[in-house]
Structure 1
């Protein structure tokens, strides 16, 4: 079922993309949509204030195991997204995924297969993936 959803999304993106079919246009649209995601997150902090970012150096003990490292690092996010900010960020991420699917279409790649392969890679390496 999930593969059908992703394939359907990628097919729909191919059908709806009319003006920006050039790979150059797609790359710049993808980059622009990514910056809009970043901007929407920043606006949630600076304009709405529904969440805050309290960034500081991550304190990881030198002798920490991988499991201890996982629990000792933080996201630096405090608070929860309000409904308006959540909607804006979801919309911008959706647009970003649309252009990602469009790039896959232009390069004759299947987004679902890419997700499966990446999932296999990260599962195979497990906690040693360290991203």
Structure 2
């Protein structure tokens, strides 16, 4: 069922994409949508203040296992997104997904197949997938 939803989403994007159908338009709109996500997160911290980004170098003991590292390392975010900031971010991430699906469609790729392949990699390799 989930593959049908993702495939239907990709098909709906393909049918609705008229103005920015060029691969260059899709690429730049995808980059713009990523920048808007970053900006929305920054504004959540700087304008709204619902979250605080508390960044410093994260230190791990030398004999730290991967399991322990997962418990020790943090996202370095304090607080919780307010309803308004959450809605803005959800909209921006939705736009990102739209242009990602458009990119897949333009290049004759299947978003669900890519998602499934990445899921298999992550579940097979677990914590070792990003080393």
> What value does the CA root-mean-square deviation take over the aligned residues?
0.8
Match of 2:20 in 1: 20
1:129 aligns to what SS in structure 2? Answer: helix
Map of 1:11 onto structure 2 = 11
Partner of residue 43, structure 1: 43
1:98-109 paired onto structure 2 within 5 Å: 98-109=98-109
TM-score by length of 1: 0.97
Query: How far has the Cα of 1:71 moved from its partner?
Result: 0.7
Moved over 4 A (4+): none
Measured in 1, the distance between the counterparts of 2:129 and 2:99 equals 27
- Alignment partner, residue 67 of structure 1: 67
Matching residue of 1:78: 78
State the number of aligned residues: 131
Q: Distance in 1 between matches of 2:57 and 2:72?
A: 11
Q: Structure 2-normalised TM-score?
A: 0.97
Residues 1:116 and 2:120 are matched in the alignment: no
C-alpha distance in structure 1 between counterparts of 2:34 and 2:104, whole Å: 16
Equivalents in 2 of 1:88, 1:127: separation in Å?
A: 31
Q: CA deviation at 1:130?
A: 2.9
